[in-house]
Structure formats: structure tokens, C-alpha cells
Amino acid sequence: LQQVRPAPHSTDFQNPRNFSMIIVTGGCGFIGANFILDWLRQSDEPIINVDKLTYAGNPATLASLQGDARYHFVQGDIGDSALFDRLLMQNPRAVINFAAESHVDRSIHGPADFIETNVSGTFRLLESVRAHWQGLDDAAKSAFRFLHVSTDEVYGTLTDTDPAFSETTPYAPNSPYSASKAASDHLVRAWHHTYGLPVLTTNCSNNYGPYQFPEKLIPLILLNAVAGKPLPIYGDGLNVRDWLYVTDHCSAIRRVLEAGKVGETYNIGGCNEKTNLDVVHTLCAMLDELKPRANGRYADQITFVKDRPGHDRRYAIDARKIERELGWKPAETFETGIRKTVQWYLDNADWVANVQTGAYREWVQTQYQEAPACASASAPASA
């Protein structure tokens, strides 16, 4: 395997049957790419990355792996059964499914892609993996894992006083995105219960860190701030999210893959509940320190805009199970993680410019034209 240097976008990857390797889907996105970089920093076990390269997929994130014999990229769809039937013949010990449509606001504007990839795509991927797994010998069958990466949003919304989401909280998704992820989680569960497929599911809270596409809150605010643009806050800005630095999510996935109990789900979170307004003020204060404006402060750019329809009020993760059973804990606090993130976006203007394509500008136009500003920083709009 180490000598093989296959052409990009091809499936002519050769793996002797006993060589340990994994397949990752959606590895050109934010979390998948961080996962691959992190994996190959710590291990020589090869990865095949299958990514469709939607607007959210950026091969440039993985440019440092060009020519690395441990990494192979295939452009493809998780719903392409013929492709997966071929790739699975390389005999991975695990498939980790990151691929998804992942942005709530886009799911409100156009839910069809979310159903296609997150529901139908996951179904077809499960079917390919099941057919492969059923043909393995007993030892390989019991060693194999299908790890499905999901979100805390499947649990719906919390009031200020509700306990955090645990693995037994009933599913109550509220957006087309979370409903499609909930459906995929149910399929994964059913493929274990019905066919015995050795699955693991992780439900993680909001991630932040390097390489996040700047349509999500934290990178959007950072880039708008330094560009002198308004910092759009939906509603009253008091919605709460539980933030986790992306490499902590990656370490949790590695730990679940290594030691998670087949058929179980694991909630992953950082115990960092913050209102959106708190997050944005933290980002502004950090920019005031690291890249001060010529006049005034970044917080002056805060603008309250029309709320997101069906906006979940609060997410919070109870991560005691993964800590108790697998010994996982996040390494970063919100303060250390956010400082690294701000510095990364300031230091990586090329990556940022590369993703701010015409398609990105069109999205910003669609989303923020339709959400007109309703108040300045000092006068929050009611939700």
C-alpha cells in the first residue's frame, strides 16, 4: 500500500487484504478534514476519503497531504452504491460517515438536498456496507465498525432550566437539517438491530475551529468583522449553544471507534454553554486585542436581524457517558479554543479567499438580504 500513489479521483487503490485502513466520507468538509489531518498526525493507518465536493467541500484543506501514500481521495457520493461496492473491496476495518448537508439555514431555504444526502444517501451507504460486512469471515466481521457522526440537534430544543441532552433524551428534531439527521440516526440504529451491523453513533454539540466554512456563526462573524461588515445576530441573540473545539470532537470519534460498545450512541460536548451574543462579544474582544480597528471597536458592528424560523432556543450536552465509559474529556476550554480559532482565521487569509467564491457570495446575498437588520447593537430585537 505504501508504494501506491493512485491518481486523484480514481478508485484504483490497491490494498492487500490484511492491511489495516479506514474509509471516511465527507472528509473535505470542516470536521472530516480536521479528523483526517489529526488521524494522519498520529497514525500511519491509511484513509480513503470519499467526498462529493459540494459547496462545503474544500480539497485545499487537505493540500498538505498531496503525495502522502497514506491518503487517497475519491470524488463521489455516499449514495453511489457501485462506487462503494468497489471501494469496500479494499477491505477497510471501519467506515466513518461524516458526509452530510449540515447547515440549518440552507435546510430552511432548500430541504431536498438534506433528504437526498442525509437520509437516502445514508440508507444506500448502509446497504453497501451491510452487503460487504455480511461477506466477511467471522473475525473480520466482529472487528468491523460503521461509525455515524451525528448532532445534538436531533434532540430538539431545551428551556433555560431543562437538563442537558443525554443519550436517552427522546428525539424531537425541529429543522429540516435535524430531522434528516435524526432519520439517518434511526436508519443506522435499525441496521444494527435488524441485521447486526456493528454500528456506533456519536451526537455532538456545535463545533468550531480551523477550516470551518464561513456560513456558520463563528467564522462568519470573524470574517465580517475584519471586512468591516455588519455582524448579524438572529432574534435577541440569547439562543444558547454548547461549543466544542473541533480537534476535541476528532479525539472523541477516535476513542469511540477504538473502544465504543457496538450499537451504542455517545453524546459529545464541551460543557461550554454560551449565548450567541456572548460568543460574538468574545470574538469582538479578541479581535480588538489581536487586530484592532483604526476607530472604534468591533462590537459596534453588531446588528440584530430577523430570527431564523423555528430557531431552537438552547442546546446542551450531557457528556458524562463518554467520560465515564471511555475516559474521554475535551482538552480545550472555550477560551483556549476560541483564541486558536481567531488566530487561525487571521493567519489563513488564502484559505478564506479560496472558499469565498461566487456560490458563497450568492448564499450570503440570499440569506442576509432576506433577513433585514432590525436594530443596532444597543437595542436587541425581540425574538
Residues in touch with ligand NAD (CB under 6 A): 25-26, 28-32, 51-54, 56-57, 77-79, 98-102, 117, 121, 149, 151, 181, 204, 206-207, 213
Q: What is the CA radius of gyration of the chain?
A: 21
Min. distance of Cβ 322 from ligand NAD in angstroms?
A: 14
Identify the H or E element spanning 130: helix 122-134
- On whether the CB atoms of residues 42 and 219 are closer than 8 A, the answer is no
- The interface mask with ligand TYD, positions 93-112, x = CB under 6 A, is -----------x--------
Is 162 annotated in the active site? no
Residues paired with 375 in a beta bridge: 304
Say how far apart CA 326 and CA 320 lie, in whole Å: 10
Say how far apart CA 254 and CA 260 lie, in whole Å: 9
CA angle, corner 215, sides to 304 and 222, nearest 5? 70
157 binds ligand TYD (CB under 6 A): no
Q: Which three cell numbers stand for residue 286?
A: 479578541
Residue with cell 467541500: 57
- On whether the CB atoms of residues 214 and 359 are closer than 8 A, the answer is no
232 binds ligand TYD (CB under 6 A): yes
| Given the residues 77, 152, 215, 307, the one annotated as active site | 152
Min. distance of Cβ 184 from ligand TYD in angstroms?
A: 16
Say how far apart CA 171 and CA 179 lie, in whole Å: 9
Q: Is 204 exposed, middle or buried (0-12, 13-18, 19+ CB in 10 A)?
A: buried
Q: Which does 78 bind (CB under 5 to 8 A by kind): ligand TYD, ligand NAD, none?
A: ligand NAD
Nearer to ligand TYD, 209 or 232 (CB): 232
173 binds ligand TYD (CB under 6 A): no
Q: Which of 282, 288, 267 is nearest to 330 (CA)?
A: 267
Min. distance of Cβ 25 from ligand TYD in angstroms?
A: 20
CA distances from 365 to 246, 254, 300 (A): 28, 38, 22
- Residues binding ligand TYD: what is the number (CB under 6 A)? 12
Min. distance of Cβ 68 from ligand TYD in angstroms?
A: 31
Q: Which does 234 bind (CB under 5 to 8 A by kind): ligand NAD, ligand TYD, none?
A: ligand TYD
301 binds ligand TYD (CB under 6 A): no
| Given the residues 71, 155, 177, 208, the one annotated as active site | 177
| Given the residues 51, 77, 80, 153, the one annotated as active site | 153
217 binds ligand TYD (CB under 6 A): yes
Is 177 annotated in the active site? yes
Q: Which does 30 bind (CB under 5 to 8 A by kind): ligand TYD, ligand NAD, none?
A: ligand NAD
233 binds ligand TYD (CB under 6 A): yes
Q: Which three cell numbers stand for residue 210?
A: 480551523
Which range binds ligand TYD by CB under 6 A, 41-49, 111-119, 226-234, 325-333?
Answer: 226-234
Say how far apart CA 215 and CA 122 lie, in whole Å: 24
Is 152 annotated in the active site? yes
Residues paired with 73 in a beta bridge: 49
Min. distance of Cβ 53 from ligand TYD in angstroms?
A: 21
Q: Is 3 exposed, middle or buried (0-12, 13-18, 19+ CB in 10 A)?
A: exposed
Which active-site residues does the annotation give?
152-153, 177
Chain residues in the site for ligand TYD (CB under 6 A) = 104, 206, 216-217, 220, 232-234, 239, 241, 276, 308
